[in-house]
Amino acid sequence: MEYNPTFGSWTSQIHSSPEQQKRIQTAQSAKTTPTSVNKETQTGCFPGSGLEVYQTTLDSCTCADFEYRGLPCKHIYRLAMECELFPGNIEQGINKNVLDQSQLTLEEAVEAIENLSEDDQRLIMGMLGDALYRNKTERIIPAEKAQSLLCCPLLEAQEPTASSLLRRYRKKELLQCLEAKKIAGYPKSATADVLRLWCEENIENPGDVFPKAYAFHFADVVQKVIRKVYTYLNRKFRWESIYTSSMEEIRYPHGAQPEEIVVIVTRGEDGKIKMVQNGDPSVYHFPEDKVTELLTLYGHNRCLHGYRLSPGESGEEKGDCYESTSGSG
Ligand SMILES: [Zn+2]
């Protein structure tokens, strides 16, 4: 016998169509978390994409999907699941619409970045690379270096777990801390890993023995612009290399492209063909986009008037478009 659950005034058959199955699937996601649910009246509220709030019962919803189709929308399914009237593995979290409304714009994210020291900016560039391409979302940073990062809206900090805190320290540092705090019984000549394990098992609160640190990860509010922030920092700091035929390294700013050569052919009044060549492939430019606009705005567009490749120069001094204020400061 088939199990056909249903709720409200719906017949059980309607839930099996692919269109409804899709809604049943999204209903379970954290992205469909309701603002509130009243299990007694079997009603709920869900954040809408604008300022509106969807009012949902088991039989109706004020969202466009229900108004258009007259069949259960993801909100109705979610409500039924919250009331335990319909099977579903529901995740609680931040509703997608709430998350969208709180997202930082690229301008806000770059402003926050530019408020940090260059060291911190480079650190964030490394963290972004880890998060985007190496699936490494957490970075443990000692408290004395974390002060300005704690105020950065792109990041969130929490207490690191004992094992991630201990992994930060080398054996020598671990031994120094243990000795300083007069802790007895640790295996002095063991490997770093064994020593870390001993600390984890025998020290109740590693935060009291080892220097305080924070575990940083990127905040949800930066999700939408995270890749563009990474592009911004790469264009600001990173170099790429090409090599001349004599294997001389020439560097240019990451993300920059050489000028295209355009040949214009015209026939003059005298009937002779003239060829004019425009563009210089040894001059590099950043793409014309929002990221480049922001680099220019903050004075970090290394290709502002074109970056000219110059063999024999390290690139770091020459070609950088930073204004040099020649002494007077
Ligand atoms: Zn709805």
Q: What is the pLDDT of residues 154-188, one digit of tens each?
A: 999 999 998 889 998 899 999 999 999 898 899 98
User: In angstroms, what CA-CA distances link 60 with 35, 39, 152, 224?
Assistant: 17, 16, 43, 32
Nearest to 285 by CA among 308, 257, 312, 262: 257
Separation of CA 282 and ligand 1 centre (Å):
57
Separation of CA 84 and ligand 1 centre (Å):
18
Domain assignment present for 68: yes
Domain assignment present for 63: yes
What pLDDT, on the 0 to 100 scale, is given for residue 322?
37
Separation of CA 124 and ligand 1 centre (Å):
39
What pLDDT, on the 0 to 100 scale, is given for residue 99?
83
pTM comes to: 0.71
Separation of CA 225 and ligand 1 centre (Å):
28
Domain assignment present for 202: yes
Domain, as residue range, for 192: 170-209
What pLDDT, on the 0 to 100 scale, is given for residue 100?
82
Do residues 221 and 243 share a domain?
Answer: no
Separation of CA 91 and ligand 1 centre (Å):
18
Residues in the chain, pLDDT under 50: 1, 314-329
What pLDDT, on the 0 to 100 scale, is given for residue 318?
39
Do residues 17 and 78 share a domain?
Answer: yes
Separation of CA 74 and ligand 1 centre (Å):
6
Tell me 156's DSSP state. Answer: E
Separation of CA 66 and ligand 1 centre (Å):
5
Q: Sign (positive/negative) of CA torsion 149, 150, 152, 154?
A: positive
Separation of CA 47 and ligand 1 centre (Å):
10
Number of domains in the chain: 4
What pLDDT, on the 0 to 100 scale, is given for residue 2?
54
230 contacts: CB under 8 Å, gap ≥ 6? 125, 128, 129, 132
Domain assignment present for 145: yes
Do residues 137 and 222 share a domain?
Answer: yes
Do residues 201 and 274 share a domain?
Answer: no
